[in-house]
Amino acid sequence: MKHEIQNVFTVTPLPDDPPKGEINIVASIGAPETITLNKSFELFMQVAFEVRGKNLDSRQVNPLLEKFREQLKDYRLEEDGIKAWPKRVDEFEWELVGTDLLICSQNILWNIYSPRGISGGRIQIRLLRDMRKMKLEKKEDEEDSENEGISIYTTQAVFQGSQRCGRWPKDERFAGAGF
């Protein structure tokens, strides 16, 4: 049935109302050629995270933010023939909430290959779960006393078109524009 069209049902006209021609096939199932699914596609995701520590300073935080960004860039998913990797990590936004808390967001454009095509919604769930688990903490065996006690934790991750919830950095591009 893969490459052939099959009749599902036919209709015969009533004797008292003959049509001008004969009605044969009303519906069919199948296709003359195999349908190819788009197995490679892209998804856009926004990730929000917090940087916590005592008296945060850019000299201390910037190297850790760069490590966290590299951690995001280096993420790879390979499972049951599905592959996902970041194509682009950009649009960094931040807001200093207090001396001990910095909230940030980062945009990720994902390249995804799935044998089932875009209909494999399981990949989105897995990416969201893995991104929400991302963190970076100073390990006790590291001798970097400047970064001691600073940690980065992902607080939220959403795909484009999803409703964001929780605390995200304010978008300063539209500040004062009346929105």
- What is the pLDDT at residue 84? 92
At 107, list the tokens: 């945009």
> What's the distance, Cα to Cα, between the start and end of the chain in Å?
56
Which DSSP symbol is given to 37?
P
- What is the pLDDT at residue 41? 85
What fold characterizes domain 40-163?
A: Alpha-Beta Plaits (3.30.70)
Alpha-carbon 59 to chain mean position: 31
- What is the pLDDT at residue 1? 47
From 45, 44, 62, 40, select the one nearest 53 (Cα to Cα).
62
- What is the pLDDT at residue 179? 43
For 131, list phi and psi in degrees, rounded to 5.
-70, -35
Q: Residue 122: CB partners within 8 Å, gap ≥ 6?
A: 82
- What is the pLDDT at residue 70? 95
Contact present, 136 and 61 (Cβ < 8 Å): no
Whole-angstrom Cα Rg for the chain? 27
Q: How far apart are CA 107 and CA 161, in angstroms?
A: 13
At 93, list the tokens: 């936004």
pTM above 0.75, yes or no: no
- Per domain, the residue ranges of the chain are 40-163
Alpha-carbon 25 to chain mean position: 44
Per-residue pLDDT of the chain (179 residues; tens, 9 = 90+): 455 666 666 666 666 665 565 555 555 565 566 655 678 888 899 999 999 999 898 898 999 999 999 999 999 999 888 899 999 999 999 999 989 999 999 999 999 988 776 665 678 888 999 999 999 986 545 555 555 689 999 999 998 888 888 888 886 655 554 44
For 103, list phi and psi in degrees, rounded to 5.
-105, 140
Q: How far apart are CA 166 and CA 132, in angstroms?
A: 13
